[in-house]
Amino acid sequence: MEAISDQHLLPRQDFAAAWDAIKIDQMVRTRLVAQALLSFQLRQRYAFEVMPVHGLIVLSGPPGTGKTTLARGLANEVAQALAPKKVQFLQVDPHALGSSSHGKSQKEVTKLFQQTIPEFAAAHPVIVLLDEVEALAADRQRMSLEANPIDAHRATDAALAGIDLLSRTHRNTLLIATTNFPKAVDRALLSRADWIEDMGLPDATARQAIIADALEQLAKEWPRVADLKSQIAAFVRASDGMDGRRLRKAIVSAAASTIETAKDLNKLHAEHVLATLKLAAANARIEEKAA
Ligand SMILES: Nc1ncnc2c1ncn2[C@@H]1O[C@H](COP(=O)(O)OP(=O)(O)OP(=O)(O)O)[C@@H](O)[C@H]1O
Ligand SMILES: [Mg+2]
């Protein structure tokens, strides 16, 4: 089905790497894994009417804060905990669910929740990543100005009905939704979440870990890059306000400060990194203000 953009049996090594790549407070990691395992456990034992756990976790936060990557890593952590059982991972691309006109996306959303996911759930526990869920369950209150408000309305209705049905009848499924635009997500979806994790921009500790990781990766090919780690405190200060994606890109872009450094990253100096970080952080602040 075209709405499923990625599917794998977990655990897998590349998904484990995704979990390690995102630098975030250990308490958040523990909370997410524990919440997911608790949800599986409770939902196996109780009927929905007794224990209204939907099996829905939402990761919300600005673009580039690692939500999609962490969600995939979380699925793998859960799979490891459920071993030797294998877990079926499905990633849904809501943008592929057809246009909202003529009820097309409504039909496809219904099929996804009532047919596609249940078929997988017959064989394995299933973890579904609903990436950019604002496209799947758009806020009905904001729709009055849209081209096809009634069709879009129906698509959101279908998503909510589908999640409800899945919650009741397929107790071995877990949904992980991400959004960088929570205001555009229908409130009825957010209210079904068992846990909403608000992932803000990385703090100084997280930025330090991201920068160290980025430098270590480059040092594998250009050993002198490792010397830059002595300047890490200054890099952390200069990168305040940047998301993790930008920060990783800025460290790499520092090597594009001159032709020489681009050709040989061993020639990269702390000044190149600092200047690039300052530029990128200033751009991030300007965009933040404009948004
Ligand atoms: N906290 C972080 N620690 C380390 N790397 C990070 C962090 N946040 C983001 N990154 C880097 O940014 C990349 C992009 O992250 P990802 O696509 O998961 O973000 P996202 O929150 O889903 O963004 P969007 O809202 O734009 O979809 C990651 O692969 C990772 O390299
Ligand atoms: Mg994402």
Ordered by start, the domain boundaries in the chain are 4-198, 204-290
Dist CA 60 CA 230 (whole Å): 34
- How many angstroms does the Cα of residue 138 sit away from the middle of ligand 2? 16
Nearest to 73 by CA among 5, 12, 4: 12
- Beta pairing class for 56-60 and 195-198: parallel
- The per-residue pLDDT for range 248-285, each reduced to its tens digit, is 999 999 999 999 999 999 999 999 999 999 999 999 88
C-alpha of residue 23 to centroid of ligand 1, in Å: 10
**CATH architecture of the region 4-198:** 3-Layer(aba) Sandwich (3.40)
Compute the distance from residue 201 Cα to the ligand 2 centre, in Å. 14
Tell me, in angstroms, the distance from the centre of ligand 1 to residue 24's CA. 11
Q: Which ligand is nearest to the CA of 239?
A: 1
Residue 3, helix vs strand vs coil = coil
Phi, psi for 140 (deg, rounded to 5): -65, -25
pLDDT confidence of residue 274: 98
pLDDT (tens digit, 9 = 90+) per residue, 13-49? 999 999 999 999 999 999 999 999 999 999 989 988 8
d(CA 169, CA 163): 10
**Whether residue 105 has its Cβ less than 6 Å from ligand 1:** no
Helix (H, G, I), strand (E, B) or coil at 123: coil
Which residues are bridge partners to 198 per DSSP?
60
181 Cβ contact partners less than 8 Å away, ≥ 6 residues apart: 134
Please report, in angstroms and rounded to a whole number, the separation of the first and last CA atoms in the chain: 35
From the CA of 210, the nearest ligand is 1
Q: Which residue out of 24, 32, 68 has the highest number of ligand 1 atoms within 8 Å of its CB and is therefore the one to mutate?
A: 68
Q: Closest residue (by CA) to atom 4 of ligand 1?
A: 22
CB 225 within 8 A of CB 265: yes
69 in ligand 1 pocket by Cβ < 6 Å? Answer: yes
239 lines ligand 1 (CB under 6 A): no
Maximal CA-CA distance, the chain = 66
pTM of the model: 0.94
Looking at residue 223, what is its pLDDT?
Answer: 98
Any ligand 1 atom below 6 A from CB of 107: no
Query: How far, in Å, from the CA of 74 to the mean position of ligand 2?
Result: 14
Is the CB of residue 229 less than 8 Å from the CB of residue 215? yes
23 lines ligand 1 (CB under 6 A): yes
Q: Contact at 8 Å (CB) between 200 and 238?
A: no
Ranges of residues in the chain whose predicted pLDDT is under 50: none
Q: Is 24 in the pocket of ligand 1 (CB under 6 A)?
A: yes
Say which amino acid occupies 247: L
Residue with tokens 């009825």: 188
H or E stretch including 109? helix 104-111
In this prediction, residue 145 carries a pLDDT of 65
Pocket test for ligand 1, best of 5, 14, 20, 22 (most atoms within 8 A of CB): 22
Coil/strand/helix, residue 180: coil
> What is the reported pLDDT for 102?
62
* Half-sphere exposure at residue 158, Cβ-oriented, CA atoms within 13 angstroms: 23
